[in-house]
Every structure is written in C-alpha cells, then in structure tokens.
C-alpha cells in the first residue's frame, strides 16, 4: 500500500480521510467526512480496491463513527478514484449516493458499453489523432479501461443543498475536469471542497475525446469555472479542501495561476500551428510536457493528447484555429489575425 497521510480532525465537524490509491503516484484520495445532526456525509468515496476500502472504513472509525452510520456520499465527479467505492458503501449502509446530472449521464453511458467496446473506441481515437500503429497495437494488447462505478441515487444540480441536517453544505457546478464536476461550499465553516477542480500544486487534467464529437468546449467551461470559484464572496478567506495534495488558502490567486497556465498553453499551441498544419499527435508530441514525450508511457501520451484536443477545441471556439482534412485524420491550422484571449 502507498504511504498515506493520517486521518485529521479539521475542526467544525470536518475530517480528512486519506484513502489509498494502490500503485498510483497520487498516493491517496482525500475523502472528507462532514458531521451533521443525523449522521455524517462523505465527500467522495475513493478507489475500488480492498486496501482503499479498508482505509475508508478505518478512517471513518477514527472519527468516532462507523461506515454503517454514513448518511450519504456526494461525489465531486465520476472518476474512479472518487467514485469507486460507492457500491461497497451502499452495501454496508443505507447511504444515498449523489452526483451532478451530467456525470450521472457519463456513468450511465459507460455502464451501457463493455470493456472491449470502450477499448476499441479509444483505439479509434488514437488512429484519428495520428498516433503510430505501434502505439495503437500496444494499447490494444494491454488496454487500460476501468469499469464505471455504481450509479448514484440522487442528482444534485448547481446550488443544491446537500441532505445534511444541521449544516449548510451546497453544491457549485464547476464543469471542465468532467462535465458534471462539483465543488461544495460549507458555509457554516468557511470551507470549500474543491475536488479536482482546484488543486494547490498541480493543474487538473482537462481532456476532450473523441475527435468526431466537436461539440462542447470543456477547457472553456473549465476556465469559466475557475474564474467563478475565484470570485466567490469571501474566497480569499476560504479553507480549500482538495481531493489530492494538501489543503490551502488563497483561492483567488490559485485560480488566476491555473487560468494563466492554460492561456499560455493556448498561445504556445497557436505558435506551433503557425508553422503549418498538424494532426493531434504531431501537435501533442511537439509541445513541452513535464516529462519528455519520448519518455512518456502510452497512458500518459493518451492523456496529453486529450488535453491538447481540449485546447484545440477552445482555439476553434475563439476563432484562432480551424480543423481541416478528413474526419478520420483531421489536421488543424492557425487562423491569422486573432488576438489571444485575456
């Protein structure tokens, strides 16, 4: 099991429960327990693994509660390190499970397709992006496709009050990282659960695949959501509780830094497109990443391509790039005469 930080009492009836993610550099998902008059509610559940479940059960026990006492769980989004333990939690308690409708729709779509079908879909995305045949073959030989979590019971729209008697916990829809990502504000404690939307040290992943569905602008949504969160009343005094890394303050400065990072990325991509048309693979492989492209694992390359695709979609929306070529092998070109967005 990865080394994980200890359970912490954050005051105001809020606890941090680090739930391990085995064999992941992230180490753990920071699940939070919020106490109420009629039982506690969890923010997220953690990865679906025996070690993760044991970590959650023992963490809840250290708060003076038992898993059987959990009133419900709000999932910030559908990703498996946040939603994976929903079925086990439901089987061990009468807890309701809630998520934003947009991520419920994604979960339903994933549940309706088999693992092989999902793997073939990803392989087609690779081909359309221009990935070499050896990368596509390597993926199909060992596809990284994760089963979706159990479907939630409840849908929580933007601004909804969470069923937590005695507390004022409300949702804030922050699409981008996923279509239905939620942050949650605990108004009676000046705390904001930021999920993966705002992290203190790393920039959350925002991807856009497949390429044959150009509708939507996840990065544009993400940047709007960052600005919205950073401008919340009293944002500068909120204690931010993310799902990874560490809690932090200074929310307006952090959201501004994240927005600036993506704007610089958009400008860098425009500069590369000025050199000539490029497929998604060609553009992604020429960008600067934390690790050199040639040293990146295939899964990391896939995530990098999805992130590049999201930036291209925003450039299209802003009139700074255009898609040419065929649907099965599109290329992008720069549109001259357009100023960068600020």
Express each pLDDT in 209-263 by its tens digit: 666 566 789 999 999 999 999 999 999 999 999 999 999 999 999 999 999 999 9
Task: Determine the average pLDDT of the residues in 178-198.
Answer: 97
Query: Percent of the chain at pLDDT above 90?
Result: 75
- 342 pLDDT more than 50: no
Q: So what's the pLDDT on residue 249?
A: 98
Using 50, 70 and 90 to split pLDDT, how confident is the model at 208? confident
Q: So what's the pLDDT on residue 1?
A: 45
At a CB cut-off of 8 Å and minimum separation 6, what does 253 contact?
A: none
Residue closest to 62 by CA, chosen among 5, 21, 24, 23: 5
What is the residue whose two structure tokens read 């204690």?
A: 239
The C-alpha angle 40, 91, 70, rounded to 5 degrees, equals 5
Strands laid side by side in the 239-242 sheet: 169-173, 182-186, 191-195, 239-242
Q: So what's the pLDDT on residue 279?
A: 93
What is the residue whose two structure tokens read 């953690």?
A: 46
Q: Average pLDDT over the chain, rounded to whole?
A: 92
For residues 63 and 339, which has the higher predicted lDDT (pLDDT)? 63
Using 50, 70 and 90 to split pLDDT, how confident is the model at 196? very high
- 340 pLDDT more than 90: no
Rounded to 5 degrees, φ, ψ at 58 are -70, -35
Domains and CATH numbers, the chain: 8-109+148-257 (3.60.15.10)
| Angle (deg, nearest 10), helices 218-230 and 298-317 | 80
- 337 pLDDT more than 70: no
pLDDT digits (tens, 9 = 90+) for 287-298: 999 899 999 998
Task: Determine the average pLDDT of the residues in 324-329.
Answer: 81
d(CA 96, CA 98): 7
Q: In Å, how far are 75, 169, 270 from 232, measured between CA atoms?
A: 21, 15, 32
d(CA 7, CA 16): 6
Q: What element of type H or E holds 290?
A: none
What is the Cα Rg of the chain in Å?
A: 21
């Amino acid at each position: 099991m990865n080394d994980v930080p200890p359970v912490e009492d954050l005051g105001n009836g809020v606890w941090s429960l680090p739930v391990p993610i085995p064999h992941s550099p992230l180490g753990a998902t920071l699940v939070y327990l919020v106490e109420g008059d009629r039982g506690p509610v969890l923010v997220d559940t953690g990865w679906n693994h025996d070690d993760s479940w044991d970590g959650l059960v023992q963490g809840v026990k250290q708060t003076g509660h038992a898993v059987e006492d959990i009133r419900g769980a709000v999932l910030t989004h559908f990703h498996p390190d946040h939603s994976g333990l929903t079925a086990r939690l439901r089987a061990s308690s009468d807890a309701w499970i809630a998520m934003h409708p947009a991520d419920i729709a994604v979960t339903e779509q994933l549940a309706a397709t088999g693992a092989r079908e999902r793997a073939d879909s990803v392989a087609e995305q690779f081909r359309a992006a221009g990935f070499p045949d050896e990368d596509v073959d390597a993926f199909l030989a060992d596809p990284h496709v994760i089963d979706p979590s159990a479907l939630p019971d409840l849908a929580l729209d933007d601004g909804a009050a969470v069923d937590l008697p005695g507390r004022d916990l409300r949702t804030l829809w922050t699409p981008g990282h996923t279509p239905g990502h939620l942050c949650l504000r605990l108004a009676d404690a000046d705390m904001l659960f930021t999920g993966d939307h705002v992290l203190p040290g790393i920039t959350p992943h925002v991807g856009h695949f497949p390429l044959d569905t150009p509708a939507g602008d996840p990065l544009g949504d993400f940047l709007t959501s960052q600005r919205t969160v950073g401008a919340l009343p009293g944002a500068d005094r909120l204690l931010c509780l993310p799902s990874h890394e560490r809690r932090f303050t200074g929310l307006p400065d952090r959201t501004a830094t994240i927005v600036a990072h993506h704007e610089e990325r958009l400008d860098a991509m425009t500069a590369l497109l000025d050199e000539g048309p490029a497929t998604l693979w060609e553009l992604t492989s020429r960008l600067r990443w934390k690790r050199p492209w040639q040293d990146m694992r295939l899964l990391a390359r896939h995530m990098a391509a999805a992130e590049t695709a999201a930036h291209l979609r925003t450039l299209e929306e802003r009139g700074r790039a255009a898609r040419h070529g065929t649907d099965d092998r599109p290329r992008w070109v720069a549109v001259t005469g357009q100023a960068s967005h600020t």
